[in-house]
């Protein structure tokens, strides 16, 4: 029997990424407050938030300095926009700060309200650039199977997950997908990580040649895949991929929406994994998830093209009402100030060995085929047979059941396609809380094994 609050939810809200049929029976988990790495439901029960909300609440919950930054900005200038040359101090200062932080040459910053909007902007700017350069055929975008880049019409086309395409009439023409860089699941028997990476680079090159390099504009990738399974790339992967992109003048877009702002123990995932993108997208951690904010970096060649197009067309015809919202920018500035003052990124690097040791130990569990991560992110894959890597039937919903058991243990984690479970706690998690997280996850796996045996899966 659903509570009154849960019943009201079911009758009024549409929940993203939710089975809306079964949800009518199960109802929501209603959260009312949070502090540090803990959130509390409407009955007052605590949960360790092992997904940092949705990969984003880097500084944890109820950070008073972030609340004060938002409150102060709300009282001074709650809203203005950046259209037609209008501006405000928080946007200017944040753009300056981000230019200093970026791991790549950055001329300007364009703000959005989300990662989806940021990646959608990347597509439009790529097309805009090639029109400015007199290359109207160079428009195709390549992403990867199981990559995740958003849910707008363009970014859902880039996303390489079946649920984002089925019955949505996607992907649009001109959006292509190359192989997923998941060694555990897709390597051939006996194939080393380096050899697997070389094969994937060869496959990407073959795709570009098949499509005609004069029609391929950009390649987009997350340093570590998020919704595709929290997948760490194999050894040598990005170096080999980037050599192919350079050979055919294909622009490289790094989707740093999850990996940016400390998640891998560096300010950006590109630094940790040796990416050299032309541009990157950011969101989520830039405000610790407290306010919606995202953006893209604009390199000097792109900026020159944007200026020349503005002269020709009379305006730069792109932007949204909340691009560079002053409250969001103020919160982002305070977030970065805290990151620097409290050595948050360095702290992730210090805590990562402990986190990764506990994660790796899960590979010994009878259900786990792979347990791998980097920094404070990781993924585990539940399998029916560890030797053959055979998976359970999708309809069994084993990973979903494991996540439900974890919730029963007072832990929030997330199940993903392919019976993967992701772990991505707030960056401020303490060593003892890391142990609590993995102790509870281990108990959830034990309960899942017992359930499988009882159900005969």
* Per-residue model confidence as pLDDT tens digits over 17-36: 999 999 999 999 999 999 99
Q: Does residue 171 have a cis bond before it (omega within 30 degrees)?
A: yes
| Residues 445 and 413: beta-carbon distance below 8 Å | no
| Residues 394 and 386: beta-carbon distance below 8 Å | no
* Per-residue model confidence as pLDDT tens digits over 400-445: 999 999 999 999 999 998 999 999 999 999 999 999 999 999 999 9
Tokens of residue 195, six digits: 């050899």
| Residues 123 and 155: beta-carbon distance below 8 Å | yes
* Per-residue model confidence as pLDDT tens digits over 255-283: 999 999 999 999 999 999 999 999 999 99
- Kindly compute the dihedral angle of the four CA atoms of residues 151, 156, 158, 162, in this order, to the nearest 10 degrees: 120
Report d(CA 59, CA 72) in Å as an integer. 19
Report d(CA 306, CA 132) in Å as an integer. 8
Would you list the DSSP string of 88-114?
Answer: -HHHHHHHHHHHHH-SS--SEEEEESS
The SS3 of residue 172 is: coil
How big is the chain by its Cα radius of gyration, in Å?
22
Tokens of residue 35, six digits: 């502090």
| Residues 332 and 287: beta-carbon distance below 8 Å | yes
Report d(CA 182, CA 190) in Å as an integer. 14
pLDDT attached to residue 457: 72
Report d(CA 59, CA 37) in Å as an integer. 8
Question: Of 106, 132, 60, which is closest to residue 347 (Cα–Cα)?
Answer: 60
- Structure pTM? 0.97
* Per-residue model confidence as pLDDT tens digits over 138-196: 999 999 999 999 999 999 999 999 999 999 999 999 999 999 999 999 999 999 999 99
Q: Does residue 305 have a cis bond before it (omega within 30 degrees)?
A: no
Report d(CA 61, CA 39) in Å as an integer. 8
Tokens of residue 325, six digits: 């919202």
**What domains, with CATH codes, occur in the chain?**
4-62+343-455 (3.90.1150.10), 66-341 (3.40.640.10)
How does the average pLDDT of the chain come out, rounded?
97
> What percentage of the chain exceeds 90 in pLDDT?
98
Strand order in the sheet with 108-112: 108-112, 294-298, 279-282, 251-255, 216-221, 140-144, 175-178
| Tokens 């959006």, residue located | 175
């Amino acid at each position: 029997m659903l509570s009154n609050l849960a019943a009201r939810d079911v009758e009024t809200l549409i929940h993203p990424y939710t089975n809306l049929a079964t949800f009518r029976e199960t109802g929501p988990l209603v959260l009312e407050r949070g502090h540090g790495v803990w959130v509390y439901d409407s009955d007052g029960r605590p949960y360790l938030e092992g997904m940092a909300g949705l990969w984003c609440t880097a500084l944890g919950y109820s950070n008073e300095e972030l609340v004060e930054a938002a409150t102060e900005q709300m009282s001074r200038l709650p809203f203005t926009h950046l259209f037609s040359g209008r501006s405000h101090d928080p946007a200017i200062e944040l753009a300056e700060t981000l230019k200093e932080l970026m791991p790549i040459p950055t001329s300007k910053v364009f703000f959005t309200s989300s990662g989806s909007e940021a990646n959608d902007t990347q597509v439009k700017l790529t097309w805009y650039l090639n029109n400015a350069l007199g290359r109207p055929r160079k428009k195709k975008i390549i992403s990867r199977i199981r990559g995740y880049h958003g849910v707008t019409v363009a970014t859902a086309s880039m996303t390489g997950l079946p649920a984002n395409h089925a019955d949505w009439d996607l992907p649009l023409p001109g959006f292509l997908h190359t192989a997923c860089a998941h060694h555990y699941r897709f390597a051939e028997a006996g194939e080393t990580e380096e050899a697997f990476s070389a094969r994937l680079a060869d496959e990407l090159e073959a795709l570009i040649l098949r499509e005609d390099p004069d029609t391929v504009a950009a390649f987009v990738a997350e340093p570590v895949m998020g919704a595709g399974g929290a997948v760490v790339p194999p050894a040598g992967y990005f170096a080999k991929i980037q050599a192919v992109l350079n050979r055919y003048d294909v622009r490289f877009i790094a989707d740093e929406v999850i990996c940016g702002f400390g998640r891998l123990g560096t300010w950006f995932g590109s630094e940790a994994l040796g990416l050299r993108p032309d541009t990157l997208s950011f969101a989520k951690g830039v405000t610790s998830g407290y306010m919606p904010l995202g953006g893209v970096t604009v390199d000097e060649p792109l900026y020159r093209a944007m200026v020349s197009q503005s002269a020709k067309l009379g305006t730069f015809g792109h932007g949204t009402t909340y691009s560079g919202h002053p409250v969001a920018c103020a919160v982002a500035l305070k977030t970065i100030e805290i990151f620097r003052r409290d050595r948050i990124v360095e702290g992730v690097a210090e805590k990562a060995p402990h986190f990764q040791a506990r994660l790796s130990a899960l590979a010994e569990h009878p259900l786990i085929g792979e347990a791998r991560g980097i920094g404070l992110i990781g993924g585990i894959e539940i399998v029916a047979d560890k030797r053959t890597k055979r998976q359970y039937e999708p309809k069994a919903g084993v990973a979903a059941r494991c996540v439900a058991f974890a919730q029963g243990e007072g832990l929030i984690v997330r199940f993903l396609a392919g019976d993967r479970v992701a772990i991505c706690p707030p960056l401020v998690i303490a060593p003892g809380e890391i142990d609590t997280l993995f102790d509870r996850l281990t108990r959830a796996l034990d309960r899942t094994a017992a359930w499988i045996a009882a159900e005969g899966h």
